[in-house]
């Protein structure tokens, strides 16, 4: 299904900052990027730069290094140019160089899906950058030659010789879509903890846990917590929620316009949903939350995204839905639209994610016997429960939005090992910890991770070592993302138990001195 682009969105086709003069007076060039949907370019009418008109006969189109005349497109020529979504297309104009400064551009072209389109923007010819530029190759930037050129450039620029960063065991071409300007690797030590006995709905059994870290005592501490949990029957883990968001904002003339629009969105969810879901075979729009402030309507689109983390997936889906909404809303005029408003709180901890879920909402829980606590952690259940109450007051006083101890440690170490987007630790590390004494005098504890963003498909999960560590966890293949989420939650609970006991028993400093001292 192809959606209709709004005039507000057409401006986004142009890549701002791409206007430039070609070397040796060979003309002027700029780029557009297909941010809408896969289409075929069926014709180019003209380009206007200020008062200058550049006809199709003076325009060439460059797609992935292959040039063709703009006049080769159209009914007369019988040809079209397929332009997949996300693809950039360079317009090369046979005109004299432009002076530095601002220029008004208008690009008139047509596509099979949208018909005639006109994009009007302002761009600038900048001054020449006199600083050194990182070498790259337009045809194959992951070949041996451009990688070696970047390594030599870094050595010349810094005056340092590099040895270890150049040593890696995989084909750099596998990094397309994961890393630009590839120069080498950062080798992070990985320690094994566990095995951890997990009693989940998706993760069932014992799992060796790879933790990538440079922090002494981290692996040992998590390993200790896992041993204690295993002695008490393992950790019970449950995924209780799943949602990934994009949160656009629509700007109106007044508050009534925003209010009426939000009501229209609720009433027309059945029409909006297929527009969003047309962009992916996986993304499913669950619901849309509306938050109103002043003349702004903030919408929080909530999707399920299969085994992918899904941030890019939901961006495209939300973009498609919003384009349809901009074109079809019958009410007050929409003055501005932005695809993200900060209400999704991407890469940021927030209270809305604690309450409403972002990624997977997963709970890990266990009952630890009194005798095991005394023998293995040198604390009583009463000590840990009371310590939890005291630390809750501290979290409240500090303004923290959660009361976990150090969930970011285990989550970050697992994220690095398994190819997750490490910046997602910002929201994933929020954890709500709860403890209570059982009638038998044991300690029941659970931890809720309300915004755990993990993936077993896409991103860095398919890279060489990252995929091997996912295979170590048995989390490769379709339908394994909830399994990974349950394992992560179990690891976090083991770490909370171990650190809480270390602080309560005053072993914290001595343990770091014994295992983590590196000075």
Give catalytic residue positions: 215, 421, 512
Q: 32: which strand partners? A: 14, 89
Q: Which long-range contacts (CB under 8 A, 24 or more apart) does 299-302 make?
A: 299/247, 299/248, 299/249, 299/250, 299/262, 299/265, 300/245, 300/247, 300/343, 300/344, 300/352, 300/356, 301/245, 301/246, 301/247, 301/248, 301/276, 302/243, 302/244, 302/245, 302/356
- Count CB-CB contacts under 10 A for residue 93: 19
Please state the φ and ψ torsions of residue 325, each to the nearest 5 degrees: -65, -45
Element (H, E) at 20: strand 20-21
Residues contacting 393, CB < 8 A, separation 6+: none
**Reduced to 3 states, what is the DSSP secondary structure of residue 504?**
helix
Residues contacting 227, CB < 8 A, separation 6+: 376
Q: Are the C-beta atoms of residues 11 and 336 closer than 8 Å to each other?
A: no
Residue 485's nearest CA partner among 398, 348, 363 is 363
Give the whole-angstrom CA distance, residue 489 versus residue 273.
32
What is the DSSP pairing of strand 235-246 with strand 190-200? parallel
DSSP 373: I
CA angle at 113 for the pair 110 and 119, rounded to the nearest 5°: 40
């Amino acid at each position: 299904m192809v959606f209709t682009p709004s005039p507000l969105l057409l401006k986004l086709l142009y890549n701002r900052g791409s206007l430039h003069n070609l070397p040796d007076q060979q003309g002027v060039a700029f780029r557009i990027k297909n941010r809408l949907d896969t289409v075929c370019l069926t014709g180019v009418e003209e380009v206007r730069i200020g008062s200058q008109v550049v006809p199709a006969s003076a325009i060439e189109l460059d797609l992935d290094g292959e040039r063709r005349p703009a006049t080769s497109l159209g009914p007369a020529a019988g040809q079209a140019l397929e332009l997949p979504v996300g693809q950039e297309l360079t317009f090369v104009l046979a005109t004299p160089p432009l002076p530095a400064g601002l220029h008004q551009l208008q690009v008139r072209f047509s596509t099979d899906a949208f018909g005639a389109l006109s994009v009007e923007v302002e761009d600038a010819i900048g001054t020449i950058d006199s600083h050194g530029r990182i070498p790259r190759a337009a045809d194959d930037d992951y070949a041996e030659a451009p990688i070696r050129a970047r390594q030599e450039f870094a050595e010349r620029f810094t005056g340092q010789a590099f040895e270890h960063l150049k040593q890696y065991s995989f084909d750099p071409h596998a990094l397309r879509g994961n890393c630009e300007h590839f120069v080498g690797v950062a080798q992070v030590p990985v320690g094994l903890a566990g095995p951890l006995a997990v009693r989940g709905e998706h993760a069932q059994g014992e799992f060796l846990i790879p933790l990538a870290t440079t922090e002494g005592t981290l692996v040992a501490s998590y390993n200790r917590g896992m041993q204690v949990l295993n002695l008490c029957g393992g950790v019970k883990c449950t995924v209780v929620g799943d949602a990934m968001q994009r949160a656009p904002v629509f700007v109106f003339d007044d508050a009534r316009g925003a209010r009426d629009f939000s009501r229209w969105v609720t009433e027309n969810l059945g029409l909006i949903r297929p527009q969003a879901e047309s962009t992916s075979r996986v993304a499913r729009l669950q619901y849309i939350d509306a938050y109103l402030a002043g003349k702004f309507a903030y919408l929080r689109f909530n999707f399920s995204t299969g085994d992918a983390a899904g941030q890019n997936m939901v961006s495209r889906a939300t973009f498609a839905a919003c384009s349809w909404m901009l074109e079809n809303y019958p009410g007050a005029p929409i003055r501005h639209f932005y695809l993200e408003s900060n209400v999704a709180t991407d890469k940021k901890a927030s209270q809305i994610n604690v309450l409403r879920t972002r990624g997977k909402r997963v709970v890990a829980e266990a009952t630890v016997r009194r005798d095991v606590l005394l023998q293995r952690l040198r604390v009583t259940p009463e000590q840990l429960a009371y310590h939890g109450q005291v630390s809750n007051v501290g979290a409240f006083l500090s303004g923290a939005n959660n009361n976990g101890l150090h969930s970011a440690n285990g989550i970050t170490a697992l994220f690095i090992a398994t190819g997750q987007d490490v910046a997602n630790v910002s929201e994933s590390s929020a954890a709500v910890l709860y403890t209570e004494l059982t009638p038998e005098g044991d300690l029941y504890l659970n931890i809720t991770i309300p915004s755990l963003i993990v993936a077993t498909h896409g991103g860095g999960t398919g890279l060489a070592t990252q995929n091997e560590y996912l295979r170590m966890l048995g989390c490769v293949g379709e339908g394994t993302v909830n399994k990974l989420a349950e394992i992560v939650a179990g690891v976090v609970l083991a770490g909370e138990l171990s650190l809480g006991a270390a602080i309560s028993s005053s072993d914290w400093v001595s343990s770091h001195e014994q295992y983590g001292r590196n000075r």
